[in-house]
Structure 1
Amino acid sequence: MGRQTDQTRRPTADDGGQSKRKSLFSSVLGNVLEWYEWSAYAVFAPFIAAAMFNSDDPVSALLATLAVFAVGFLMRPLGGVVFGHMADRHGRKIVLVTTMLMMAGGSLAIAIMPTYGAIGAWASVLLVLVRMLQGFAHGGESATVYTYVAEIAPKKRRGLWGSVVFVAIFGGSVLAYAVAGGVTTVLSASSVAEWGWRIPFVLGGLLALAALYMRRNMEESEVFHAQKADAKQADLKQADVKQADVKTAAVKPAKRSGSQVTRAILLMIAMTSGITAAHYTWTSYASTYAITEKGMNPDTAFWVTMVAQMIALVTLPLWGMLSDRIGRRPMMIGFSVLMIAVSIPLNTMITSQGWTLLVASATALVIVAIPGALLAAVLAENFPTRVRTKAIGFAYSISVAVFGGTAPYLNALFNSMDLGWLSGAYVMVLCVCTAVACFMMKETKGIDLKDA
């Protein structure tokens, strides 16, 4: 009888593994589309600048558009904390569904938004409000996806599984550049400026609704269920203990736990600073720089950047698997050293020729892919389950908002002042911060997240 019972349980375990893989696919597919919508704004920044701001001063209009891009990032910490708190209390799935719906709505709103020529400055105001909404949703989405994928992954393959999150990030950006390349190739420059720039946002909103349909069947994280069950059991036991005993037994550990979480947050902010600055410099600004500063044809810049990102994308699982073997810290430190060495040379090699952007972007993005593949695992492994999503949402979003979201704006500002070398120096300084944080971190490869 016992053997029959065991035999009946085996399919359940197999089904559970298959269900986790389906959940991984659904969460990552939705993340691809979220990042597509987010990246489409940066890719079409020159056209949005002309449509939504005063075109009498093109440089000012471009800076204003990139500033709106940064404003969206500044909303991410708030979204990370609010949705992170929701995810830690009510589960990861509900947040992933909610943020997907908000991003889809924001994308469709941009697609039908009146231009500056139609309603004046109100067009700029509406654009800011929509980007703030998307930034708020994106902060919750990113934190929850990092948490969710790490929690459903096998602990010995968490680096590999976690790398899929950055595959989604690159995948969304690749999709945005592919659509941009198609639009600028098929349509004339005047048609793109007049109405063609809206196409990516219509497409993004519709595809996001399809991803939302898939996410409804995702299963909840077992780590989350285990933490909630443990917390409930602890509450029941605590109810039987005298109040004095509760104070002496529980207060001090809570304080130590709080200080450990605070330290981890500060380390994660510093660790992510160089990663996110390098990432957004080479995914969101490099093509804009080639078009506006070097005179490269827009369709050439878009297609070349897409190819560079595809090259980096295929390396992500390899970096994830390698981290499962040799650890997270040495690979993070290796990224810092490499990016410090190549930042300025890669910036200076870009000309109006497409191949220069291809070589520079591909090299930079393959290096960025090293820590990108590890982020989900490293972030999740450094926080306890009870506050994991909220802590990741705050630490990651703060770092991305301060150092990543501002990178395209700062790069454009430096170049407008003929101080382009500062773009590379900015990334280099932040990569030093990443290296220092990684030296201070403990190795977390293979830990059990239920015990974290």
Structure 2
Amino acid sequence: MTSTTKPTSPPDTESGKDAASTTDIKSLGASLTGQILEWYEWSSYAVFAPFIATAMFNKGDSTSALLATFGVFAVGFLVRPLGGIVFGRVADKRGRKSVLMMTIIMMAIASAIIGFMPTYDQIGIWASVGLLVIRILQGFAHGGESAAANSYIPEIAPNAHRGKWGSMVYVSIFGGSVIAYVLGGLISLVLNDEQLASWGWRIPFFLCALSACVALYLRRHMKESDHFKEIDSSEPSVDTPARKERPAIPQSASATRPAWINILLVIGMVSGVTSAHYTWTSYVSSYAISHEGMTTQGAYWVTVVAQVAGLIALPLWGSLSDKIGRKPVIYICAVGMAVLQIPLMALIDSRPWTLLIASTVGVIIVAAGGALLSSIMSEVFPTAQRTHSIGLAYSLSVAVFGGTAPYIYQWFVAHDLAWASGFYVIALCVLTMISMYILPETKGVDLRDV
């Protein structure tokens, strides 16, 4: 009689992590809940930018007020590298979970403060200064959140499905944005523009502060990454699978290269993806409303549809990278945006269907790159330095090239140079292609061997 005994945990594929446990899946959900809330709040600022400009800046010059609003948005990004470095070092010493707890608390407090903040008409320039300070604190927290999440989720993922699991980090970005736009559409449906400018724009920030309590509770019960526990203890974790042999090729090039070169390459790899992302998720709706005369309702709901399409595409792109490799999928994103950026922007006018086509195509292409950022970065940097390296490289690239994209586009448009703004994204997409060409193919690498 043949034996029916099976291995306790059948291997996933060529790497050391077996299939995901129930604890892994629950931890993934807890991490994503907090990230979705953080990005919902962050996106709400962009969604309600025209009304925040009216409330918190001098509305005597609407163009200057909108530029100032996007400028504050960009400043929040510029402090993200500092948050990524500081919180990244904490995560590499005290664990990923501790940082994810701290950042959700900071986000909740900052959101509540924005909701209660007096307007420019009430306290003058101090309203603008106060908003700037809060956005700086939020940017600091977001840098830590992004660094920890981009390390944590790949570390708890089954190795053969790390691309798909890693795409969940960007799912939280798109998911938070979708919630922000849906809420923006609903609020603008119920309230008129005067009510929105007066107090309606505060609603998303109050809701975020309250919802963060749920996310905080869920994160308290997350597991700590086994990869972190391995380097944190002289003894291996009892539930850590035995190391398996794997092909030596995926990580060898990055492992032998100086750390600062890998950081520069990751900055370049992220640049095109993040500039295109913030162009098509944060800027185009404001552009359509302010400069093409599109209705607020039309712009909001069209953007929701486009980002839902991106949400669906993200895990599909991640799964594809688990089969054919990271490089081909990143090239699809970079080449696609370089070719289509200017034609897609030129398509947009006052008719919502033009924004629907342009933004849906743009967001789906961006999703190809965004889906892989977490897995690629975790596969390039070693566990002991992973979080603060990601915090520096990712946050710096997003700050310099992503957070500034709406401001750069708005500046070009305000100076009748809209035609030139597309070349900014195109140049960065070329940089992404070059950086990805130099980086090694990392599909299937065992993170313990990086």
- Match for residue 263 of structure 1? 261
Is 1:177 aligned to residue 181 of structure 2? yes
**Pairwise mapping of residues 102-121 of structure 1 onto structure 2 (< 5 A)?**
102-121=106-125
TM-score, normalised relative to structure 2:
0.91
- Match for residue 375 of structure 2? 377
Is the Cα contact below 8 Å between 2:332 and 2:365 reproduced in 1?
A: no
Q: Which of 111, 134, 139 is the equivalent residue of 1:135? A: 139
Is the Cα contact below 8 Å between 1:79 and 1:135 reproduced in 2?
A: yes
**Pairwise mapping of residues 432-443 of structure 1 onto structure 2 (< 5 A)?**
432-443=430-441
**Pairwise mapping of residues 204-353 of structure 1 onto structure 2 (< 5 A)?**
204-230=208-234, 260-353=258-351
1:78 shift after superposition: 0.3
Is the Cα contact below 8 Å between 2:59 and 2:65 reproduced in 1?
A: yes
Is 1:75 aligned to residue 73 of structure 2? no
Q: Report the 3-state secondary structure (helix = DSSP H, G, I; strand = E; otherwise coil) of the residue aligned with 1:445.
A: coil
Runs of 4+ in structure 1 off by over 6 angstroms are: 13-16
1:187 shift after superposition: 0.7
Structure 1 231/76 Cα, relative in aligned 2: closer, same or farther at 3 Å?
farther
Structure index of larger Rg:
1
Is the Cα contact below 8 Å between 1:277 and 1:404 reproduced in 2?
A: yes
Structure 1 449/361 Cα, relative in aligned 2: closer, same or farther at 3 Å?
same
**Deviations 1:325-355 (CA, angstroms, capped at 9, x unpaired):** 0000111112111111100000000001001
The one-letter code sitting in structure 2 at the alignment partner of 1:369 is A
In structure 1, how many angstroms separate the alpha carbons of the residues matched to 2:183 and 2:207?
A: 9
Larger helix fraction of residues? 1
Is 1:420 aligned to residue 418 of structure 2? yes
In structure 1, how many angstroms separate the alpha carbons of the residues matched to 2:278 and 2:335?
A: 18
Is the Cα contact below 8 Å between 1:227 and 1:450 reproduced in 2?
A: no
**Deviations 1:374-393 (CA, angstroms, capped at 9, x unpaired):** 11100100000010000000
Structure 1 157/259 Cα, relative in aligned 2: closer, same or farther at 3 Å?
closer
The one-letter code sitting in structure 1 at the alignment partner of 2:74 is A
In structure 2, how many angstroms separate the alpha carbons of the residues matched to 1:423 and 1:179?
A: 29
Q: Report the 3-state secondary structure (helix = DSSP H, G, I; strand = E; otherwise coil) of the residue aligned with 1:450.
A: helix
1:226 shift after superposition: 1.1
**Deviations 1:369-416 (CA, angstroms, capped at 9, x unpaired):** 001111110010000001000000000000000000100000000000
Q: Report the 3-state secondary structure (helix = DSSP H, G, I; strand = E; otherwise coil) of the residue aligned with 1:114.
A: coil
Q: Which of 398, 404, 416 is the equivalent residue of 2:402? A: 404
- Match for residue 365 of structure 1? 363
In structure 2, how many angstroms separate the alpha carbons of the residues matched to 1:350 and 1:126?
A: 35
1:260 shift after superposition: 2.1
Is the Cα contact below 8 Å between 1:290 and 1:352 reproduced in 2?
A: yes
- Match for residue 252 of structure 1? none
1:230 shift after superposition: 4.8
Q: Report the 3-state secondary structure (helix = DSSP H, G, I; strand = E; otherwise coil) of the residue aligned with 2:118.
A: coil
- Match for residue 46 of structure 1? 50
Gaps of 5+ in 2: 10-16, 238-253
1:356 shift after superposition: 0.5
1:263 shift after superposition: 1.0
In structure 1, how many angstroms separate the alpha carbons of the residues matched to 2:163 and 2:276?
A: 21
Is the Cα contact below 8 Å between 2:51 and 2:196 reproduced in 1?
A: yes
The one-letter code sitting in structure 1 at the alignment partner of 2:165 is W
Q: Report the 3-state secondary structure (helix = DSSP H, G, I; strand = E; otherwise coil) of the residue aligned with 2:448.
A: coil
- Match for residue 244 of structure 2? none
1:16 shift after superposition: 7.4
1:232 shift after superposition: 10
Is the Cα contact below 8 Å between 1:96 and 1:145 reproduced in 2?
A: yes
In structure 1, how many angstroms separate the alpha carbons of the residues matched to 2:433 and 2:414?
A: 30
In structure 2, how many angstroms separate the alpha carbons of the residues matched to 1:27 and 1:232?
A: 24
**Deviations 1:29-86 (CA, angstroms, capped at 9, x unpaired):** 1100000001000111000000000000000000000000000001100000000000
Structure 1 329/259 Cα, relative in aligned 2: closer, same or farther at 3 Å?
closer
1:205 shift after superposition: 1.0
Q: Which of 75, 89, 103 is the equivalent residue of 1:99? A: 103
Q: Report the 3-state secondary structure (helix = DSSP H, G, I; strand = E; otherwise coil) of the residue aligned with 1:60.
A: helix
Structure 1 231/79 Cα, relative in aligned 2: closer, same or farther at 3 Å?
farther
In structure 1, how many angstroms separate the alpha carbons of the residues matched to 2:236 and 2:255?
A: 19
In structure 1, how many angstroms separate the alpha carbons of the residues matched to 2:429 and 2:82?
A: 25
The one-letter code sitting in structure 2 at the alignment partner of 1:329 is K
In structure 1, how many angstroms separate the alpha carbons of the residues matched to 2:181 and 2:302?
A: 9
Structure 1 436/257 Cα, relative in aligned 2: closer, same or farther at 3 Å?
closer
In structure 1, how many angstroms separate the alpha carbons of the residues matched to 2:20 and 2:366?
A: 33
The one-letter code sitting in structure 1 at the alignment partner of 2:80 is R
1:15 shift after superposition: 11
In structure 2, how many angstroms separate the alpha carbons of the residues matched to 1:223 and 1:232?
A: 9
**Deviations 1:133-164 (CA, angstroms, capped at 9, x unpaired):** 00000000011101000000011000011111
Q: How many residue pairs align between the two structures?
A: 424
1:231 shift after superposition: 9.3
In structure 2, how many angstroms separate the alpha carbons of the residues matched to 1:215 and 1:110?
A: 24
- Match for residue 245 of structure 2? none
The one-letter code sitting in structure 1 at the alignment partner of 2:267 is I
Is the Cα contact below 8 Å between 1:174 and 1:306 reproduced in 2?
A: yes
Is 1:190 aligned to residue 188 of structure 2? no
- Match for residue 244 of structure 1? none
Q: Which of 33, 36, 53 is the equivalent residue of 2:37? A: 33
TM-score, normalised relative to structure 1:
0.91
1:299 shift after superposition: 1.6
The one-letter code sitting in structure 1 at the alignment partner of 2:291 is E
Gaps of 5+ in 1: 1-5, 234-255
The one-letter code sitting in structure 1 at the alignment partner of 2:104 is M
Is the Cα contact below 8 Å between 1:270 and 1:434 reproduced in 2?
A: yes
